[in-house]
Chain A
């Protein structure tokens, strides 16, 4: 019994990481209806950036964010402003195919630079520290930190979108980019800012991924799929939904893994497909349908 509690608990904590993957995807979909196929590769890219910052500059893992976050923010802004903005429109093909092409380019550039070797970011004792909750039941400090950070990021994003001037601009542009221009909002700038914001979260997710799992240049697509599944399960465009979706994904993966190590990922995908059948709009669909 306690083993199962443990399994579910670990799954919930993993869900925090998946919510971080998903939040960035949800933001850019919410603001500009763009689905970014490079999302997973950008997570891996930021893990590599963090790794370099730690190895080369000798930063502590968390301090590395001082370098990673600005880099990802600027990269996101430029990526959107110089390339992706030109793919937006009624036609679905350009954004999909352009981000798909970029995904392959990023993966192979990482491969050229860092080789196919599996990497890991060292976080010292943090990796093994855990808190004993009960006999045979303990949670790792690091997964707990990840989960708490994810919750705070979602609270922060929710606040940003609901209560700030820039948040209103994001929502207004998402509703109607042309009318938004009449308000003095430069929609191209707003789109680029939303990508930059998404990549800030990707930057944090990248560091956490690097500490909690091995990664290599080809690890992006599976992160994309996790992010995507969490977003759809949660209900498109709902930030708390991404946390719920991430948790469902994490818990089902952990349960799958407990039954048979080969079923870990499969169980997550199956949970996703089941929800797709019974709740095609996710668990927390937004009221507005567009």
Chain B
């Protein structure tokens, strides 16, 4: 009966086209912020950008790659330290240390993967945490980098970005914006590629994807290295805004904790989820800042509740209800029946 039907695989949806238009408009507004925005807003936005970028990377790892790492702070801190190593001791321009830290982070992730990929499932998570601790303890031993008490970025390095403070802040702002946009775009393209299909298959069913001949190991390794690259680059960026580093701050598990809560609450396994989660995180953080650890208790219990009652997260609930999809990475099979 549907002999003359035509099938095609469609990924873009009406919302995604609308989303693209809105996204470009939003991007234009964000690019212009340094020309009219205040310093405080810019600082906050920089933080939003790097947290969102970290969340996207963690979501790629755990939500798509099934690699639940609680040790991404290893790469974040490593990247942060690379900023100090290369800008102070080698003389690389501070901004250029960001991609450099990424590349070195990707390189160091290879031996790390060799170790932690030996651990299955749940134990992988804790294994990554051990590695992060090892990184911290090793950097705490390096006297040239300030040992356990850490180091500050010399004024000369900071000046080298730009001599005026406002240009410097605008530069860092644009770099942070570029980083988060790049991370989202790369993840989006990655998920739409052939490898992305493999990853989605892994996420949905490890067994099924194995029987489809999807090379799990290679796909996972690729994701792991890419996440390390991005996380290390962001680490350099973060400590460029902080101007001070110490092993305890650089390799703090709270980097990963925050990101996990954001992704779980927003919705794991989607690109929109981390965005929603980041917005919620920052919206709640300001009013709840005075409550100290109650804020973390609230976030933790919300994440637990979401995992138990609505594992798709807030974005999952929204998109299910309204059939929205701004980043259509899943292919939808469509057909029409031709009457003629």
Residues of A within 8 A of B (CB): 29, 33-35, 37, 83, 86-87, 92-98, 100-105, 108-109, 111-112, 221-222, 224-225, 228-229, 232, 262-263, 265-266, 269-270, 272-273, 276-277, 280
Question: Given known contacts A86-B308, A273-B134, is B303 in contact with A97 (CB within 8 Å)?
Answer: yes
Cβ A93 vs Cβ B123 within 8 A: no
The residue among B296, B304, B311 with the most chain A CB atoms within 10 A of its own CB is: B304
Contact partner of B118 (CB less than 8 A), chosen from A35, A97, A276, is A276
Pair count A-B, CB < 8 A: 125
Cβ B300 vs Cβ A104 within 8 A: yes
Quote the shortest CB–CB distance from A217 to chain B (angstroms): 9
Quote the shortest CB–CB distance from A55 to chain B (angstroms): 22
Cβ A265 vs Cβ B304 within 8 A: no
Cβ A269 vs Cβ B126 within 8 A: no
Cβ A262 vs Cβ B122 within 8 A: no
Which A residues touch B148, using CB under 8 A? 262
Q: Which of B62-70, B79-87, B98-106 lies at the binding interface?
A: B62-70
Question: Given known contacts A87-B307, A97-B260, A109-B297, is B122 in contact with A225 (CB within 8 Å)?
Answer: no
Quote the shortest CB–CB distance from B276 to chain A (angstroms): 17
**What residue in chain A is nearest B205 (Cβ atoms)?**
A90
Complex CA–CA separation, A93 to B308 (angstroms): 11
Question: Given known contacts A108-B293, A108-B294, A262-B141, is B133 in contact with A94 (CB within 8 Å)?
Answer: no
Which B residues touch A102, using CB under 8 A? 300, 304
Quote the shortest CB–CB distance from A39 to chain B (angstroms): 10
Cβ B115 vs Cβ A277 within 8 A: yes
Q: A35-B123, A96-B125, A262-B148 are in contact. List 4 more A-B contacts (CB 8 A).
A: A34-B122, A83-B304, A87-B307, A100-B70
Cβ B126 vs Cβ A228 within 8 A: yes
Quote the shortest CB–CB distance from A77 to chain B (angstroms): 18
Query: Which parts of B46-64 form the interface with A (CB within 8 Å)?
Result: 62
Cβ B130 vs Cβ A273 within 8 A: yes
B243 at the A/B interface (Cβ < 8 Å)?
no
Cβ B294 vs Cβ A112 within 8 A: yes
B299 at the A/B interface (Cβ < 8 Å)?
yes
Which B residues touch A35, using CB under 8 A? 121-123, 125-126
Complex CA–CA separation, A228 to B116 (angstroms): 13
Cβ B268 vs Cβ A101 within 8 A: no
Which B residues touch A109, using CB under 8 A? 293, 297
B261 at the A/B interface (Cβ < 8 Å)?
yes
Quote the shortest CB–CB distance from A89 to chain B (angstroms): 11
Which A residues touch B260, using CB under 8 A? 97, 100
Quote the shortest CB–CB distance from B174 to chain A (angstroms): 34
**What residue in chain B is nearest A97 (Cβ atoms)?**
B307
Query: Which parts of B147-204 form the interface with A (CB within 8 Å)?
Result: 148
Cβ A272 vs Cβ B125 within 8 A: no
Which A residues touch B119, using CB under 8 A? 232, 276
Quote the shortest CB–CB distance from B121 to chain A (angstroms): 5
Cβ B130 vs Cβ A228 within 8 A: yes
Complex CA–CA separation, A201 to B169 (angstroms): 54
